[in-house]
Structure 1
Amino acid sequence: MKDTVVLEEYAKTRSRRIENLKRYGTIALFMGPFLLAFIVFFLYPLGYGVYISLTNFQYGRPGVENFNNFQWYRFLFDSSASSKLYESFWRSFLHSFIFALIMVPIAVLVPLGLAILVNLKPPGFKIFRSIIYMPSIVPLTAAGSIFTIIFMEGSQHGLLYEFFGIDTKWFIDSWFTFNIGSFKVDVAYAWIPIFLMCFWGGWGGNFIILNAGLQNVPKSLYEAASIDGCSKWKRTLSVTIPGIKPQLVLCLFTTIIGYMGLYGQNFVLSNGGPANSTISSMPGGGKTSTIIYFIQDIVANNDNFKTKLYGLGAAASLIFALFVGIITGIQMFCTRDKKTGFKISEAYQKWNKIR
């Protein structure tokens, strides 16, 4: 009898183990690769980046660094510590912020308008849909070559000069200047081809997402709105926009991150130039340099910067990541679904009693 009881307990224990293995083993099988990649390619680099930013790390000589009393952060936040590095960093940061501020609304609203028009399904709308998305499949370097040929100056036979006689030195001359506090911002003509290249090559992704979202808006809502006498504009604001809110939030989220991290278009078209005469010897010393360009100058583009300022690049990366995190957090908070709970029903009951 005793042996039978022990055998039953063993069978139950073994059955539970097999059941747990099947349940949690499957979860581990699917989550394992992601967690491993997350630790190796995100958590470890993040932690090591924080470590580098707090030490006098030297590229090529790891393991001999010491705590540097927040020296790299003082360079970025205290103009008296290194005025040129301070100016170069914040000019690059300002370039990124202003460009994103201008570009993000355009990069969301224009694809939204195109998606709404295509959703009306005019004759040939499938062809228009393909044409709108087509620039997004063009590689960055190929698009850069196209826009470089268009905007080359007259002596190099750029297409704008050949067809329209416009002989502007797009990648050399300044366009206009303005002041933000103590900073004099020198806006180069090169920002025009950069803007146009971003606009042309970037609307396709948002267009596809928003166009797909429009397919899921119930037609009955439009019919109800028409019966109530809503105009087309009112239907767009009251039915279309709320119906594709998740897609709009996604587009806004990815577009903010994408244009705050602008780098490739600047590199391909202007190589960060033209140079700013006062800080040309510093990382990010060009008139079209962005914050990512500042970081890339340190960690990849210049061996001298890489040897001496690697910790500065890590500090700038962390500050930039924190700023983008705050911006996206605010955006997610402002676009969240507002749950009122019982407030509306309670207010209705009070109103009904008063009536």
Structure 2
Amino acid sequence: MHSKNNKAQGTDGALRRHQTMIAWGFSLPFIVIFGLFMLLPLLSALYMSFTDITARDLRTPFNVNFVGLQQYAALFKDPLFRHSLVVTGIFVIIGVPLTLVVAMALAVALNKGLRHVNSFFRAIFYAPVVASVVAVSVVWRYILQGDGLLNNLLGAIGIHGPNWLNDTHVALFALIIMTVWRNVGTSMIIFIAGLQSVNPELEEAASIDGCNAWKRFFHITLPLLKPTILLSLVLVSVAYLQFFDESFVMTQGGPLDATLSASYYIYKKFGFGQYGMSSAASWVLFLIIALVSALQFRIMRSDK
């Protein structure tokens, strides 16, 4: 009897080991690619942030000096870096809520009604997401220039529009509007999926009890969409904290650094060959993104 049990246990153990080896075999390509193209660059950037490596040290990268936290100290003493963090913060604080509100409004509007009409408008609003960000930025640059389409339309009704991309007061807000227009489609699709998962019987019961549409939305639908809102909030926040393409293509960080984002600052430092400083700035931005995401999860987590 014992020998049969031992044999059965041995067979089960061999089967589990075999399944484990197969699982690791399927996972190995991803592990190798992740290690080479994600983990190794991350660790290399972390190492470089504690050194004084520059473009002159590329031929002898192991002969650089270890400087500890000096790069981080110099980074926060740089007023341009602090300014880039402020610009990025304004971009996120204005852009994220605006994107979510517009996406929610579109999702509610397109959740019910004629199926084919809704599908058409969903495709229209989602189209900017799949378009090339560089191509979109170029088109918007021509729309927003001093004699562009927007100012011509405003002039037709007697309004003198500013030079949107060359005015330090409005350049960042012009980029925010363009970015919201481009990214609202993703959140809209996420919210539509969330709305379709809400049990309609709950709204019917509330309607019978005398709740109007606004009360049903704010007291029933919106609380049930909390996980969906959290997902969209985190995705949009992470994307906006890293905004670069719009600034690079449309304004090159100008005018007078009015649209200089943290990512664009990192790019410029890297272009100047200051790899240690650039790596330190990259890790600061990474930590900010991680902290913001953790805070959002903590605030928006579902009540148990």
Query: TM-score by structure 1 length?
Result: 0.76
Deviation at 1:23, TM superposition (A): 2.5
Q: 2:267 aligns with which of 272, 282, 296?
A: 296
Tell me the alpha carbon deviations over residues 181-231 of structure 1, each in whole angstroms, 9 at most, x when there is no partner.
xxxxxxxx3223312210111100000111011111111111111122211
Shift of 1:122: 5.1
Letter in 1 for 2:110: V
Say whether 1:143 aligns with 2:136: yes
User: Residue 28 of structure 2 aligns with which residue?
Assistant: 32
Aligned-pair distance for 1:34? 3.3
Q: For 1:287, what is the secondary structure of its paired residue? A: coil
Confirm or deny: 8 A CA contact 1:217 1:243 kept in the other structure.
yes
Deviations 1:61-110 (A, max 9, x none): 31111211422111123x3xxxxxx1000000110011100111111111
What is aligned with 1:112?
104
Distance 2:191 2:88 in 1: 25
- Structure 1 residues without counterparts, runs of 5 or longer: 80-85, 176-188, 277-285, 340-355
User: Match for residue 43 of structure 1?
Assistant: 39
Retained in 1: the 8 A contact 2:227–2:302?
A: no
Counterpart of 2:82 in structure 1 is 90
How much does 1:29 deviate?
A: 3.1
Whether 2:130 is the aligned partner of 1:159: answer no
CA contact (8 A) 1:56 1:67 kept: yes
Q: Aligned partners of 2:43, 2:292: CA distance in 1, in Å?
A: 22
Aligned length: 295
Superposition pairs for residues 111-260 of structure 1, below 5 Å? 111-121=103-113, 124-154=117-147, 158-165=148-155, 166=160, 168-175=162-169, 189-260=170-241
SS at match of 2:63: coil
Instruction: Return the alpha-carbon distance in structure 2 between the equivalents of residues 125 and 160 of structure 1.
Output: 28
Partner of 2:95: 103
SS in 2 for 1:66: coil
2:289 matched residue in structure 1 = 324
Q: Matched residues in 2 for 1:69 and 1:128: separation?
A: 54
**Deviations along 1:318-350, whole A, 9 cap, x unmatched?**
1111111111111101111232xxxxxxxxxxx
Q: 1:143 deviation in Å?
A: 1.0
CA spacing shift, 1:9–1:221, aligned 2, 3 Å: closer
Structure 2: unaligned runs, 5 residues or longer = none
CA distance in 1, matches of 2:162, 2:98: 25
Residues 226 and 302 in structure 2, CA contact (< 8 A), matched pair in contact too: no
Q: CA deviation at 1:52?
A: 0.5
Report the equivalent of 1:68.
Answer: 67
Distance (Å, rounded) in 2 between the aligned partners of 1:111 and 1:56? 45
CA change 1:335–1:162 in 2 (3 A) is closer
Q: What is the SS of the residue equivalent to 1:174?
A: coil
- Contact 1:147-1:193 at 8 Å conserved across structures: no
Deviation at 1:9, TM superposition (A): 10
- CA positional deviation for 1:14: 6.6
Structure showing greater Rg? 1
Runs of 4+ that moved beyond 4 A: 8-14
Give the structure 2 partner of residue 349 of structure 1.
none
Cα distance in 2 between the residues matched to 1:320 and 1:134 = 30
CA–CA separation in structure 2 for the residues paired with 1:46 and 1:126: 41
TM-score (norm. length: structure 2) = 0.88
Name the SS of the counterpart of 1:67 in structure 2: coil
Q: Which has the higher contact order (CA 8 A, sep 6+)?
A: 2
Q: Distance in 2 between matches of 1:94 and 1:18?
A: 58
Cα distance between partner residues in 2 of 1:254 and 1:12 = 49
Distance 2:6 2:162 in 1: 85
Matches within 5 A, 1:280-295: 286-295=257-266
Residues 112-148 of structure 1: CA distance to partner in whole angstroms, max 9, x if unpaired? Answer: 1111121132583222222222222221122112111
Query: Against the structure 1 CA distance between its residues 136 and 337, is the aligned structure 2 distance closer, same or farther, given a 3 Å change threshold?
Result: same
Q: Which moved more, 1:311-320 or 1:28-37?
A: 28-37
TM-align CA RMSD: 2.4
